Amino acid sequence: MSNKKTKPLVIVMICMLLTSLFLAGCILPTKYMVEMRDGVHLATDVYLPRGQSSPHGAILIRTPYSKNPLGLIGMTWARQGWLVRILLKKGGVAD
């Protein structure tokens, strides 16, 4: 593809991403430092669905990299009723 064709496509994709972020329902993560058995604390973001009263499953995402890019995924699944935990593996840098 030429640059003239890809530029509008990239702009549309960015607009769609920003729109979905604004429509995410203001679900913000609660940040925890979870202690492991060996005493190491791992950075964890928890996204809770609003108004969830019945028992429901949970989604756990473990990443060795930054957990910030996964925030949109956490917000989206929380809007759908899922509890989402994004856990940074040992050796990662807490954001």
58/6 Cα distance (integer angstroms): 38
pTM of the model: 0.59
Which of these, 20, 83, 19, lies nearest to 50 by C-alpha position? 83
Task: State residue 23's pLDDT score.
Answer: 57
77/38 Cα distance (integer angstroms): 31
13/17 Cα distance (integer angstroms): 6
Domain boundaries, the chain: 3-88
pLDDT tens digits, 7-33: 777 787 777 776 666 555 557 788 888
CATH number of 3-88: 3.40.50.1820
pLDDT tens digits, 38-89: 998 888 888 887 776 666 788 888 888 777 788 888 888 888 888 888 888 8
